[in-house]
Amino acid sequence: VQLVESGGGSVQPGGSLRLSCAVSSFTYSNFAMAWFRQIPGHDREAVAAIDTDGTTKYADSVKGRFTISRDGSPDNARNTLYLQMNSVKPEDTAMYYCAAGRVSWWLIFSASEYNHWGQGTQVTVSS
């Protein structure tokens, strides 16, 4: 299983950014996927998640601004996970990670339940 993030960078407050996570060697019909973020000295926090049936969940801090989505067919071993970030704020600054795992819905925001992680991509929001 391989996860490779891209799309991070610097953006001004109020701007937009789209993160991508290229997925290989597993099908999302069996794996939940999520975006987490982390700033130094803090725990990794869930931003958004998508279950095997396409159901999504968002942290309150990003609800209405961020959108998680994926493309590819459920049984295709190569897919892409996205995080569209709109109306970004300075507090969105963090390292963003995509994750995949066989995770139950009620644990979908629990980082410890995921056993596949990307290397991370930095997002910096400042004027």
pLDDT in tens, 16-39: 999 999 988 767 778 899 999 999
What does residue 92 show for φ and ψ, rounded to 5 degrees?
Answer: -80, -5
Q: How confident is the model at residue 43 (pLDDT cuts 50, 70, 90)?
A: very high
Q: Is the pLDDT of residue 9 over 80?
A: yes
109 DSSP assignment = T
- Average pLDDT of the chain to the nearest whole number: 93
Which are the contacts of 127, defined by CB distance < 8 A and separation ≥ 6?
A: 12, 13
Token pair of 119, please?
């290397």
pLDDT of 74 higher than 90: no
pLDDT of 73 reads: 65
* Alpha carbons 87 and 8: distance in angstroms, whole number: 15
DSSP, res 25: S
